[in-house]
Amino acid sequence: MNPLDGERVLLGVTGGIAAYKSVQLARLLVQAGATVKVVMTESARRFVGELSFQAVTGQPVVHDLYGADAADGMAHIDLTRWAGHFIVAPATAHLLARTAHGLADDLLTNLLLAWEGRLILAPAMNRAMWQHPATQANVRLLQERGVVVAGPGRGDLACGETGEGRMLEPETLADYIRPSIEPALQGRHVLITAGPTVEAIDPVRYLSNRSSGRMGYALARAARDAGAAVTLISGPTHLQAPAEITTLSVQSAEDMHEAVMQALPCDVFIGAAAVADYRLPEPAPQKLKKSSDTLALNLVRNPDIIHAVAQSGQAGFVVGFAAETRQVETHARDKLARKGLDMIVANPVDGKDTGFDVDYNQGLIIDTQRSIALEPQPKWRMARKIIEAIAERLKTGE
């Protein structure tokens, strides 16, 4: 079971050096469960061979408006009817211009004109071409029309310059393809904390924990896919920032507390972060030297973020997490009541393959009325179930 099972993606590829990266994009989408059909422009075929895409997707590649591809002369209509998603990566300045002005002089631009769904364009070009008033005007026109312009990012460009114009990485672009799930949180603001917090001891040392942030990030994506506007407040992690989610990076529990309070109000708050309970009141300004055999750190309590959110009255529905090593349900129910939560997800963290820093998790969704068992499963799937349970409660609560 994969997050994009059953999804049908049309991937347009235009003639830019970044076209080689689109092979990886196609591969990631296929690995995530999607069926991918690639449409290339003539100039794209000068950069990458269609065989590469064909091998990766297991599907024939199409490019010719009049050729055998379009057996009945209706390839543009057939393909747009078939697809559930449409992304063009890389999208050259020329493709942006043609799309903005409704030109349809090859198969790809015909498809774009016949497409009625959400369109994602991933620009890639030289910095000056991107900044050119003509390109910028085209981008504005496309955005006004609801087209999702993904990137470009900053960095080294193939032309040797550095600046804005780089196509986003395939991993990030793949995240723009949202699974077709019930838009049960449409119009809601969901605020999520994720990852560990880091509490400074001195300029080079800190106190932290083993949270990877994966569960919180999976929840952020699941809420986004269910139609919510999501704000993710994350402690330090190695994870890629999710697409189309406002992500703020913080270090300490105090930073996280402040960022959360500023991001309120929200319809749903999910506290998935493993917030350090204690910190040093004054981290040492210089690196500590080992002058004695033992070292005692004097710690003070950190703010309880989720409790503060529940007390504020500015979050409609508050969901906590309880990672426990024993008496999981008892401790979780106690936290539900003590912190004034509407729901808590309890998960045992002594399992070998579930819990911290792994892709699987298990647990119990608990609220005052019931508890739902979640068997060991990938975090993305567990996240969808938690979001469904929250949406269900919001619906019945209205």
- Interface residues with ligand CTP (CB under 6 A) are 193, 253, 271, 273, 275, 277, 302, 304-306, 320-323, 335
CB of 387 to ligand CTP, least distance (A): 16
Does residue 266 have an active-site annotation? no
**Residues 93 and 135 sit within 8 Å (Cβ to Cβ):** yes
- For residue 346, give the nearest of 332, 356, 325 by alpha carbon: 332
Distance of CA 311 to the CA centre of its chain: 29
CB of 175 to ligand CTP, least distance (A): 24
- For residue 146, give the nearest of 185, 120, 169 by alpha carbon: 120
What is the three-class DSSP state of 231? strand
Residue labelled with tokens 């460009």: 157
For residue 381, report the phi and psi dihedrals to the nearest 5 degrees: -75, -40
In whole angstroms, give the CA distance from residue 387 to residue 376: 17
Paired with 398 in beta bridges are: none
CB of 195 to ligand CTP, least distance (A): 10
The nearer residue to ligand CTP, 64 or 334, going by C-beta atoms, is 334
In whole angstroms, give the CA distance from residue 61 to residue 49: 10
What does the angle CA 210 – CA 218 – CA 25 come to, to the nearest 5 degrees?
Answer: 110
Tell me whether residue 321 is exposed, middle or buried, using C-beta atoms within 10 angstroms of its C-beta: 0 to 12, 13 to 18, 19 or more. Answer: buried
The nearer residue to ligand CTP, 162 or 327, going by C-beta atoms, is 327
Pull the structure tokens for residue 308. 């503060």
**Residues 272 and 212 sit within 8 Å (Cβ to Cβ):** no
In whole angstroms, give the CA distance from residue 250 to residue 190: 18
The nearer residue to ligand CTP, 185 or 305, going by C-beta atoms, is 305
The nearer residue to ligand CTP, 184 or 319, going by C-beta atoms, is 319
Residue of 158, 159, 288, 308 marked active site: 159
CB of 305 to ligand CTP, least distance (A): 3
The nearer residue to ligand CTP, 162 or 325, going by C-beta atoms, is 325
The nearer residue to ligand CTP, 290 or 326, going by C-beta atoms, is 326
CB of 253 to ligand CTP, least distance (A): 6
CB of 116 to ligand CTP, least distance (A): 41
CB burial of 32-57 (b: ≥16 within 10 Å; e: otherwise) equals bebbbbbbbbebbeebbebebbeebb
Pairing state of beta strands 360-367 and 343-348? antiparallel
The nearer residue to ligand CTP, 108 or 310, going by C-beta atoms, is 310
CB of 273 to ligand CTP, least distance (A): 5
**Residues 8 and 85 sit within 8 Å (Cβ to Cβ):** yes
- For residue 93, give the nearest of 28, 197, 18 by alpha carbon: 18
Give the active site residues: 159
